[in-house]
Amino acid sequence: MRASLRNIFGNTFEAKSLPKKGVGKFLLEHAINSARQKQKKYVWLGVWEKNERALRFYEQNGFYRIGTHCFILGKDRQIDHIMRKDL
């Protein structure tokens, strides 16, 4: 069984005034605890390829890259790294 963090929180975006306040860590821990309570084996999420800070954050919290996903935002083609954390 798997759980997408998007299924738990939907799309989340951290406001520029919030970095390094612990909000992201708090939300991530809540989502992971929720997935564990539901006996999920892993969680996954997508991170925009150019968001290096977010990629480092998730890697530091046990996520690893398992693939990519392309999507269109306006007229621009964007790429998300799909990341997974085993529970």
Helix (H) or strand (E) holding 68: strand 64-73
Known active-site residue 64: no
- Active-site option among 45, 58, 63, 83: 58
Whole-angstrom distance, CA of residue 69 vs CA of residue 79: 6
CA angle at residue 79 from 48 to 74, to 5 degrees? 95
Q: What is the DSSP secondary structure assignment for residue 61, as one 8-state letter?
A: T
Catalytic residues: 58
